[in-house]
Amino acid sequence: MTPSSPTDEIVASLMAKWATSFATRNADEIVALYSKDALFYGATPSLFKGDEGVHAYFSAFFPSVRSAEAKFSDITSVAIGADIISAAATIAFTLDDAPTPYVFRLTHVYRHEGDGWKIFSHHVSPKVSGSLLRS
């Protein structure tokens, strides 16, 4: 995403920090990007709540992989107000040099808190072809 507005710049910066933190596999570093009140749906069926829940998710996930990479694409963002941004993207995860990435749809809600922008809501779901809609 080439940032074209202040909202795009905020989202691009946060997604870049997220990707870097994911690649280092450091749970504390990635958790710092989330609100203490975050709602988090990752690649498991469980909802994780708060920064403690996000920490539990990544603390369990990171030791299971030797290398991790995340690439964002198709990013769209909308300012909902002065302190809320909604974003949607595609995210491709490459784990342990797998030949094919795991591709997900991602939605984030960012909230401006006292110490800057934080991820307030995180949701991923597998990106698959096809549709349930009939023409």
Got the DSSP string for 38-74?
Answer: EEEE-SSS-EEEHHHHHHHHHHHHGGG-S-EEEEEEE
Strand order, beta sheet including 116-126: 47-49, 34-41, 116-126, 102-113, 84-95, 68-81
pLDDT in tens, 23-63: 999 999 999 999 999 999 999 999 999 999 999 999 999 99
Nearest to 61 by CA among 25, 16, 105: 25
| Boundaries of every domain in the chain | 6-126
Residue 97 banded pLDDT, cuts 50, 70, 90: confident
| Mean local confidence (pLDDT), 101-115 | 95
pLDDT of residue 131: 59
At the topology level of CATH, where does 6-126 sit? Nuclear Transport Factor 2; Chain: A, (3.10.450)
Nearest to 119 by CA among 79, 85, 76: 85
* pTM as predicted: 0.90
| Mean local confidence (pLDDT), 4-30 | 95
Residue 4 banded pLDDT, cuts 50, 70, 90: confident
